[in-house]
């Protein structure tokens, strides 16, 4: 860059000075004028700045709309197992109202075993479902009829729209449902304008007439009864400015309102106002905009509002908490009627309409109180998986719809079981309130996570033990040891193993002599017996025979990603894992060797209903299904004659399940992991500071597990008649074939060619 | 190897045809459900709902909307998770979407499930299993693993006589 010589510049300025001498003189003589011009200059710059601010904010405005997390939708079809209790719970959870007659969208009726439900319309990830008029019959715990009650046609399958189970707020806790101006009823707009801003369509952002009018009205009344702010000013106030009241702010507000009007059409400003205005509070959630307010107060889309309802909403613009229709019903009604009168005065409605609307009682819906509990442990898992599986950029967009795998009914059962059982066990074992628990329930067929509890107080959002408690897993690891043996085709469930004292060098160089829980050794026994009775010495001997590497590999193939140190104590579960990791391991067992990562998210849609990158069902065969089926037949036996046999009389007759207890040193941890043909449940009990509890897997975690399993509608475990498998009854001492009638006989799976040939006697 | 490739050209059309026939008759072999009375009992058949969803899946897949088709199929699988025909259909959708590895895994799941179906007739089970092996063969071939493809194809052949 070239610089002009200072000399030349000086010359030029001096000549200029000379030629404008008189003018400069005048200017210098008027310091006031000079100050004025400086101020004017600053003001112009300030206005330009505000203009930039207004335009950039308004053009690039991103409504703060939280992501909504939905439960899984309830599917209704003939053959669906569904009890009256569950159906009523689900209807309540999705905010359906029980009515006697005249049912509309969101209502239901019941007479005996039959229900009529008007299912609300809903945009699912795979298409739109219009409102459905469904008649449904429940008999003996199953859906036996689904028809359209208007035209009596059969309905193959229909979904109840899912309940919202949580919201994820990008920044502050503002919630809204955006509306377009065209969807807003004309009468709502006339009501709003006749109350808040009569001259909206003619002013330029600020309305001096209204201010004067307001001042007179306020003097007359001796109090502030009317405001002079235009809608535009109110919008600016909400949109750009802080809540602080000051003259400077009023000044800014007026300029910004003026600028907003200069740049944008009335229509755009009005639409923004309708979406921005604060209209109520639901605990920590702020209700913004008429779209959500309409749902929140009346459970209706905005275009279905009646006159009296419209007036109620407009009434609340002035002060949503002061005119709260639940808390201050009369005050709200009074204000509503003022709004109706103003509408009448402005000629928007007839006298008759006004009278009718004013005589209408308050129509706000009953607030559901008990059902608003949230699910901190599940939502925590969902949030982590969202961040892990989706692009960060996508997640910052507003108004995402997240469809989860959450099952509200099972979660409720699980919470009840944890709350009552932990309390009782805590008292029984004198734990002084320190006993804690974590439970995870999944679907064995697709690895959907259905319910998560991470605290004995399930709604308490603190330490999430289900995901973060790292605990020794004890005998829960044993199936991996035995599965490793079965995979090496020279082992069967009746191969002999030695349950005999053993001493070996541990990782720290010391000698280690594992003992059995009962301190007894059992000598030579069939392999399955060592597993179902959880004998430590036999397991260690078998593990040493197999070697650590293949066992670690089996654990990896079961979906455990953590590094497992190949030390002898690993064989008895000295490794620490979280309940979630254990669930993944048993998920693979329950899915017969196919690994599917446990997941909470089925689909994520943007606010416009477009799917975000979808991660479809992932599935990989980790271990051949035949080996897993063999181990599962032994784990089923554990629930009949093994460490978990106490459950058998508590479960429904015919419900076959499989599972394994886990107890760690000095009863610090009590575990049970087990599954039916449909559900996997993992339960853990212990204390946060790792104290002894006195509880074994069978006396602590198992009763909670049983409590949940017996209440879930589930399918029994069914054994596959695989081409490569044969089943037979064997006795537990030598593994010889016995008759089915032998009470201690185990029904076990064998590879073809490995079925024991010798018959034995049923031991007493 | 030439005959091998031309064989696969035929297979693509064959799979299309089979995907319709194999899925026409879904089978529900659930041993039943636990009920309020504390026993396990079978409920009414769920086949109607599954067929309706399969129809939707088929309509979507013929329009080339593979992910919508998959969504419908996922719903059907939630109703009858042990139905091998549904898993096989899923495997085929992945094959069309050029996700060969996933197609193989799903076909293996279908195979594992087919051995559970005690009520399937011997011949229909074999046809279904043969179909699974064809999907596996085709997927291996797409990935360039001709040896594995040949093995799978042989298995398919041995099942369909």
With a cut of 90, say whether residue A230 has pLDDT above it.
Answer: no
Whether the per-residue pLDDT at A471 is higher than 80: the answer is yes
What pTM was estimated for this model as a whole?
0.81
> Does B74 sit within 8 Å of A594, measured CB to CB?
no
- Return the residue in A616, A655, A713 with the most chain B beta carbons within 10 A, the one to mutate for interface testing: A616
Question: Which conformational region is residue A510 in: left (phi greater than 0), alpha (psi within -120 to 50 degrees), or beta?
Answer: beta
Q: What is the mean pLDDT of the segment spanning A312-333? A: 91
Q: What is the pLDDT of residue A734?
A: 92
Q: For the CA atoms of A490, A493, A496, A498, what is the dihedral angle to 10 degrees?
A: 110
- Return the pLDDT at B120: 67
Report how far residue B129's alpha carbon sits from residue B112's, in angstroms, rounded to the nearest whole number. 9
Instruction: State the average pLDDT over residues A594-611.
Output: 91
pLDDT of residue A484: 97
Q: Which of A90, A196, A309, A498 is catalytic?
A: A196
Among the ranges given (A371-375, A586-590, A604-608, B89-93), the one the predictor scored with the smallest mean pLDDT: A371-375
Q: Is the pLDDT of residue A545 over 80?
A: yes
Element (H, E) at B76: helix B66-79
If pLDDT is split at 50, 70 and 90, which confidence band does B63 have? Answer: confident
Give tens-digit pLDDT for B96-144.
Answer: 888 899 999 999 999 998 877 655 677 778 888 899 999 999 999 999 9
Q: Check: CB of residue B22 under 8 Å from CB of residue B127.
A: yes
Read off the pLDDT band of A616 (50, 70, 90): low
Instruction: Check whether A684 has a pLDDT greater than 90.
Output: yes
Burial class (CB in 10 A: 0-12, 13-18, 19+), B73: buried
Please choose, from the candidates B45, B118, B122, the residue with its C-alpha nearest in 3D space to the C-alpha of residue A718.
B118
**Comparing A176-185, A423-432, A637-646, which segment has the lowest mean pLDDT?**
A176-185
pLDDT value of residue B114: 85
Of A417-421, A502-506, A595-599, B22-26, the one with minimum mean pLDDT is B22-26
pLDDT at A607: 83
Looking at residue A589, its pLDDT comes to 98
Q: Do B52 and A594 touch (CB under 8 A)?
A: no
**Mean predicted confidence (pLDDT) in B28-54:** 73
User: Tell me, what's the pLDDT at B47?
Assistant: 79
From start to end of A473-583, where are the E strands?
A: 496-499, 504-505, 511-512, 523-526, 576-577
Tokens 């498998």 appear where? A725
**pLDDT of the residue at B24:** 40
Give me the pLDDT at residue A645, please: 87
Residue of A475, A492, A627, A633 marked active site: A475
Q: Which of A629, A586, A589, A622 is nearest to A720 (CA)?
A: A629
Residue A377 is predicted with a pLDDT of 94
Q: Is the pLDDT of residue A429 over 90?
A: yes
Examine the pLDDT at A367 and tell me if it is beyond 90: no
Q: Which token pair is B66?
A: 């593979």
Residue A359 tokens, joined: 């005589």
Does residue A480 surpass a pLDDT of 90?
A: yes
What is the tens place of the pLDDT at every residue in A284-317? 778 889 999 998 898 888 988 999 999 999 999 9
Please indicate whether, in this complex, the C-beta atoms of B44 and A677 are within 8 angstroms of each other: no
Which of A210-214, A471-475, B125-129, B133-137 has the lowest average pLDDT? A210-214
Q: Is there a catalytic annotation at residue A145?
A: no
SS3 letters across A688-751: CCCCCCCCCHHHHHHHHHHHHHHHCCCCCCCCCCCCCEEEEEECCCCCCECCCCCCCCEEEEEE
Q: What is the pLDDT of residues A50-85, one digit of tens each?
A: 888 878 777 766 677 788 899 999 999 999 999 999
CB nearest A654 (choices: B40, B75, B116): B40
Provide, rounded to the nearest whole percent, the portion of chain A with pLDDT above 70: 91
Q: Give me the domains of chain A, ranges plus CATH numbers.
A: 73-161 (3.30.2060.10), 177-359 (1.10.3810.10), 418-751 (3.40.710.10)
Write down the pLDDT at residue A498. 94
Q: How far is A717 from chain B (nearest CA, A)?
A: 9
pLDDT for the residue B117:
60
- Residues of chain A contacting residue B32, judged by C-beta atoms under 8 Å apart: 654, 715-716
Answer yes or no: is pLDDT of A369 > 70: no
Determine which of B32, B43, B106 to mutate to test the interface with A (most A C-beta atoms within 10 Å): B43
Q: Looking at beta carbons, which residues of chain B come within 8 Å of A714?
A: 33-34
Contacts of B75 in chain A (CB under 8 A): 75, 126, 157
Q: What angle do CA A447, B101, B17 make, to 5 degrees?
A: 95
Supply A508's token pair.
């720290």
pLDDT above 90 for B5: no
Distance from CA of B72 to the nearest CA of A (A): 8
Tell me what pLDDT residue A478 has.
96
What's the mean per-residue pLDDT of chain A? 87
Contact between B102 and A619 using a beta-carbon 8 Å cutoff: yes
Place of tokens 């088929």: B58
Q: Which residues of B sit within 8 Å Cβ distance of A?
A: 28, 30-41, 43-49, 51-53, 67-68, 70-72, 74-75, 77-79, 81-82, 90, 102, 105-106, 108-109, 112, 115-116, 118
Please give the pLDDT value at position A617. 67
Nearest to A651 by CA among A627, A681, A621, A624: A681
Lowest mean pLDDT among A101-105, A477-481, A521-525: A101-105
Amino acid A649: pLDDT? 80
pLDDT at A249: 75
Residues of B in contact with A618 (CB under 8 A): 102
How confident is the model at residue A253, as a pLDDT?
Answer: 82
Overall average pLDDT of the A349-376 stretch:
79
| Banded pLDDT at B13 (limits 50, 70, 90) | very low
Backbone φ, ψ for residue A284 (5° rounding): -85, -5
Residue with tokens 């060619």: A753
* A415 a catalytic residue: no
Q: Name, in order, each residue with C-beta under 8 angstroms of A290's C-beta and a sequence gap of 6 or more.
A: A179, A184, A188, A274, A275, A277, A279, A302, A313
């Amino acid at each position: 860059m070239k610089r002009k010589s200072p000399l030349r510049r000086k010359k030029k300025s001096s000549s200029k000075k000379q030629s404008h001498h008189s003018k400069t003189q005048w200017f210098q003589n008027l310091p006031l004028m000079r100050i004025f011009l400086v101020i004017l200059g600053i003001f112009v710059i300030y206005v330009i700045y505000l203009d930039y601010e207004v335009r950039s904010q308004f053009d690039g405005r991103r409504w703060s709309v939280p992501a909504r997390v939905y439960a899984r939708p309830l599917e209704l079809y003939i053959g669906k197992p569904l009890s009256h209790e569950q159906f009523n719970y689900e209807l309540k959870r999705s905010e359906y109202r029980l009515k006697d007659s005249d049912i509309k969208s969101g209502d239901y009726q019941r007479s005996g075993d039959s229900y009529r439900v008007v299912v609300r319309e809903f945009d699912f990830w795979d298409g739109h479902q219009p409102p459905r008029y469904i008649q449904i019959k429940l008999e003996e715990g199953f859906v036996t009829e689904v028809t359209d009650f208007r035209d009596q046609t059969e309905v193959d399958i229909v979904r109840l729209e899912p309940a919202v189970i949580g919201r994820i707020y990008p920044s502050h806790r503002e919630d809204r449902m955006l509306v377009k101006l065209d969807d807003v009823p004309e009468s709502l707009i006339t009501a709003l304008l006749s109350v808040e801003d009569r001259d909206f369509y003619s002013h330029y952002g600020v309305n001096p007439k209204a201010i004067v009018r307001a001042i007179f009205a306020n003097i007359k009344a001796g109090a502030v009864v009317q405001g002079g702010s235009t809608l535009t000013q109110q919008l600016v106030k909400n949109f750009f400015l802080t809540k602080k009241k000051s003259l400077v702010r009023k000044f800014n507000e007026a300029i910004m309102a003026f600028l907003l009007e200069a740049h944008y059409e009335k229509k755009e400003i009005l639409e923004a106002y309708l979406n921005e205005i604060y209209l109520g509070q639901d605990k920590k959630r702020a209700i913004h905009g008429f779209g959500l307010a309409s749902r929140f107060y009346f459970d209706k889309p905005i275009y279905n509002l009646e006159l009296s309802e419209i007036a109620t909403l407009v009434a609340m613009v002035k002060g949503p908490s002061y005119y709260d229709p639940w808390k201050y019903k009369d005050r709200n009604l009074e204000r509503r009627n003022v709004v109706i009168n103003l509408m009448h005065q402005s000629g928007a409605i007839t006298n008759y309409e006004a009278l009718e609307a004013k005589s209408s009682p308050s129509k706000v819906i009953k607030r559901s109180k008990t059902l608003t509990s949230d699910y901190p442990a599940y939502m925590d898992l969902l949030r982590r998986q969202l961040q892990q599986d989706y692009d960060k950029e996508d997640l910052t967009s507003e108004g995402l719809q997240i469809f989860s795998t959450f099952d509200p009914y099972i979660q409720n059962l699980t919470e009840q079981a944890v709350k009552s059982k932990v309390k009782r066990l805590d008292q029984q074992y004198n734990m002084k309130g320190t006993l804690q628990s974590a439970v995870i329930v999944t679907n064995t067929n697709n690895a959907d996570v259905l319910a998560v509890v991470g605290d004995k107080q399930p709604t308490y959002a603190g330490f999430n033990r289900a995901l973060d408690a790292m605990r020794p897993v004890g005998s829960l690891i044993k199936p991996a040891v035995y599965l490793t043996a079965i995979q090496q085709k020279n082992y069967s469930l009746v191969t002999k193993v030695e349950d005999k004292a053993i001493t070996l060098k541990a990782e720290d160089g010391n000698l280690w002599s594992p003992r059995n829980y009962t301190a007894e050794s059992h000598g030579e026994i069939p392999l399955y017996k060592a597993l179902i009775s959880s004998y430590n010495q036999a397991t260690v001997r078998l593990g040493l025979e197999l070697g650590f590497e293949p066992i670690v590999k089996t654990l990896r193939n079961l979906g455990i990603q953590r590094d497992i140190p190949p030390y002898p104590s690993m064989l008895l579960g000295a490794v620490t894992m979280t309940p979630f990791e254990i669930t993944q391991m048993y998920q693979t067992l329950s899915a017969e060797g196919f690994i599917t990562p446990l997941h909470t998210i089925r689909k994520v849609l943007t606010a416009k209903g477009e799917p975000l990158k979808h991660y479809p069902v992932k599935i990989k065969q980790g271990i051949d299904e035949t080996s897993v089926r063999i181990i599962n037949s032994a784990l089923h036996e554990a629930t009949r004659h093994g460490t978990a046999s106490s459950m058998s009389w508590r479960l429904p007759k015919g419900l076959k399940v499989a599972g394994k207890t886990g107890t760690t040193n000095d009863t610090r941890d009590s575990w049970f992991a087990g599954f039916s043909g449909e559900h996997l449940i993992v339960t853990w009990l212990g204390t946060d500071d790792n104290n002894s509890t006195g509880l074994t897997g069978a006396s602590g975690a198992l009763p909670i597990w049983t409590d949940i399993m017996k209440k879930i509608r589930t399918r029994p475990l069914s054994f596959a008649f695989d081409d490569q498998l044969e089943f037979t009854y064997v006795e537990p001492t030598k593994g010889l074939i016995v008759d089915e009638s032998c009470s201690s006989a185990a029904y076990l799976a064998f590879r073809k060619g490995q079925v024991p040939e010798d018959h034995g006697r049923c031991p007493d | 190897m030439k005959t091998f490739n031309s064989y696969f050209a035929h297979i693509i059309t064959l799979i299309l045809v089979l995907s319709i026939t194999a899925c026409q008759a879904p089978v529900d072999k659930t041993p039943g459900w636990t009920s309020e009375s504390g026993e396990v009992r079978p409920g009414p058949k769920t086949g109607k709902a599954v067929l309706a969803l399969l129809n939707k899946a088929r309509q979507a897949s013929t329009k080339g909307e593979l992910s919508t088709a998959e969504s419908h199929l996922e719903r059907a699988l939630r109703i009858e998770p042990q139905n091998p025909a549904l898993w096989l259909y899923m495997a085929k959708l992945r094959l069309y979407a050029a996700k060969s590895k996933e197609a193989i895994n799903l076909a293996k799941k279908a195979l594992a499930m087919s051995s559970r179906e005690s009520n399937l007739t011997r011949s229909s089970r074999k046809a279904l299993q043969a179909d699974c092996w064809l999907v596996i063969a085709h997927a291996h071939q797409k990935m360039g693993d001709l040896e594995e493809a040949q093995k799978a194809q042989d298995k398919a052949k041995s099942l369909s006589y």
